[in-house]
Amino acid sequence: MADESKRAWLSPESYERLRAELEEMTTVRRAEIARKIEAARNEGDLRENGGYQAAREEQSKLEGRIAELTHLLENATVSEPPAATEVQAGVIVTAKIAGEEERFLIGSREASDHLDIEIYPESAPLGKAILGLKEGESTKFATPTGRKISVEIVKIEPFEG
């Protein structure tokens, strides 16, 4: 089992959407690409076969995404959004970051393709810095370049995605 602090949070809806995407890739998409590769192989010289090269590249990207989703789904924390009393995975935070107000979800970036809100993982520098804070509390975090940025939690609300 993965370390709880490194587990991505997913809502049940996001988990099911990603599980369905993975199922589609491992059944339908893999078979389609295998047919493309076989058809291109039958065309002859593989060194100069653009269709074969394109199909192999598509296969490589698909297998990478399958591995990524498999890892995420096996290691995710799946739950309904928590009560919004402190910053934790699954809540929406409004914060003043370096003086600019920003609203975002703490959770997995995999949820972002169907949400109209910025998402920061708990493992990101900002996420790590604000976990456990309550409204009105502030802290600073270091960017990957070492710059210190101040953050003040303005509002915490439940995620209703």
User: What parts of the chain have a pLDDT lower than 70?
Assistant: 1-6, 45-48, 111-115, 161
CATH 3.10.50.30 fits 86-158, yes or no: yes
Looking at residue 32, its pLDDT comes to 94
CATH 3.10.50.30 domain span(s) along the chain = 86-158
User: If one looks up domain 9-78 in CATH, what number appears?
Assistant: 1.10.287.180
Instruction: Note the pTM of the prediction, 2 decimals.
Output: 0.64
Looking at residue 13, its pLDDT comes to 83
Crossing angle of the two packed helices 30-41 and 50-75, in degrees rounded to 10: 160
* CA-wise closest residue to 95 among 146, 136, 54, 41: 136
Looking at residue 111, its pLDDT comes to 60
From CA 29, how far away is CA 58, in angstroms rounded? 10
Looking at residue 49, its pLDDT comes to 72
Looking at residue 1, its pLDDT comes to 36
CATH 1.10.287.180 domain span(s) along the chain = 9-78
Q: Which residues contact 51 (CB under 8 A, 6 or more apart)?
A: 36, 39, 40, 43
Phi/psi of residue 17, each to 5°?
Answer: -65, -45
Confirm if 30 and 62 have CB atoms less than 8 A apart.
yes
Looking at residue 2, its pLDDT comes to 40
From CA 74, how far away is CA 63, in angstroms rounded? 16
Looking at residue 3, its pLDDT comes to 46
Looking at residue 44, its pLDDT comes to 72
